[in-house]
Amino acid sequence: VQLQASGGGPVQAGGSLRLSCAASGRTFSNYVMGWFRQIPGKEREFVAALKRAGGYPSYSDPVKGRFTISRDNAKNMAFLQMNSLKPEDTAVYYCAAGYGIITSNLGSNSAYAYWGQGTQVTVSS
């Protein structure tokens, strides 16, 4: 699976962005899709994950209630709708895909075998 993330950019606090992740491969629906983010000098942290379209999503506490993960298996796409953005959301955002990830491991970097190149999100106050 090859992943291509896009949709990042500058935005003011309180604004919204929608990140997209385009995936190659015919078995996209079989993969768990996740979003992570990383600030320079810090470890990559979990943001959100979704096992299947219409499934129950998982979110990290800092983004819960503001971000929404979704996927369109027919288009091999995953999305991260980010609302009420805060300066502390500034980071490089990565989409990731993994197969057979159990719920307790959804937030683990090592559970995902495939990663996109990242897209920068910069939130100004």
Whether residue 19 contacts residue 95, with contact meaning beta carbons closer than 8 Å, is answered with yes
Rounded CA gap, 86 and 107, in Å?
A: 21
Name the nearest CA neighbour of 79 among 119, 27, 123, 25: 119
Q: Going by DSSP bridges, is the β-strand pair 45-50/77-82 parallel, antiparallel, or unpaired?
A: unpaired
In tens digits, what is the pLDDT along the chain, a chain of 125 residues? 899 999 999 999 999 999 999 999 778 888 999 999 999 999 999 999 999 777 889 999 999 999 999 999 999 999 999 999 999 999 999 999 999 999 999 999 999 999 999 999 999 99
The dihedrals phi and psi of 9, each to the nearest 5 degrees, come to 160, -175
Rounded CA gap, 59 and 29, in Å?
A: 20
